[in-house]
Each structure stands twice: as C-alpha cells, then as structure tokens.
Amino acid sequence: MTTDNASGLTGELTPDTEDVLEALRDVVDPELGVNVVDLGLVYGVTVSEDRIATIDMTLTSAACPLTDVIEEQAREALEGIVADFRINWVWMPPWGPDKITEDGREQLRALGFNV
C-alpha cells in the first residue's frame, strides 16, 4: 500500500516507521526552531527486522554545519524506539519550502517567518 501522509513521505507506513517519525518530531532544526519531520527534511524511513532504522534525511542547505546536532537529537529521540539507527544524508531531490507540512508552516509563521 502506498500512502501520501501528513509528513509528506510517500511509501508504506508500518507501525515501526510511524513510531520513528513520531519520535523524530522531537528533533528540532536548530536554525529554524521547527522539527525535521514538519520541515520536510525526512525523505524516508525504513526499519529492519532487527529494529535498525535507516532514515533518509536532507538539510535546508548542503553546507549546513549542524549534522552532528541533529544526529545527537535523533539518538535521544529514538532511544527505546529502535535498537539503532543510521541517517543517510541525501541531497537529491534538493529540499525546498514546498516540502514543509502545513503544521510546519504554522510553526514557522508563529516564529515570524512568512511562508
């Protein structure tokens, strides 16, 4: 089953991938103050049988120096949800404001951004 869900991801959502996405909502982009899921930075999530999550994620800019901060926040958020995880940093397709969810847009507007 293919789903186009609120996070903007396309693909099959299992309870495991939904749990990972929900946990990743606690990972906040340090520059924008909005979580990585609602910013549309998470392109895909898979969880293997041995409960290792692979997260396809991008950043608003390939030059962003905050990958370590985001990885540490992800580690804390996913503790107890999966046995381990790996972030696969991807740059194609490039991120753009069109990937922000409606919840993300509301959060950005509350912070004073015009989106």
Q: What is the pTM of this model?
A: 0.86
Instruction: Report the pLDDT value the prediction gives residue 15, as an integer from 0 to 100.
Output: 73
| CB of 8 closer than 8 Å to CB of 21 | no
Predicted confidence band at 61 (pLDDT cuts at 50, 70, 90)?
Answer: confident
10 Å CB burial of residue 71 (0-12, 13-18, 19+) is middle
Q: Is 88 helix (H, G, I), strand (E, B) or coil?
A: strand
On the question of pLDDT at 10 being above 90, the answer is no
Instruction: Report the pLDDT value the prediction gives residue 12, as an integer from 0 to 100.
Output: 63
Q: How many CA atoms lie within 13 A of 111 on its CB side?
A: 13
Instruction: Report the pLDDT value the prediction gives residue 48, as an integer from 0 to 100.
Output: 95
- Within the chain, residue ranges assigned H as helices are 15-24, 67-78, 102-110
Mean pLDDT computed over 50-61 = 95
Mean pLDDT computed over 9-14 = 62
Please give the residue that has the higher pLDDT: either 42 or 8: 42
On the question of pLDDT at 85 being above 90, the answer is yes
Instruction: Report the pLDDT value the prediction gives residue 14, as an integer from 0 to 100.
Output: 75
Mean pLDDT computed over 40-64 = 94
Predicted confidence band at 2 (pLDDT cuts at 50, 70, 90)?
Answer: very low
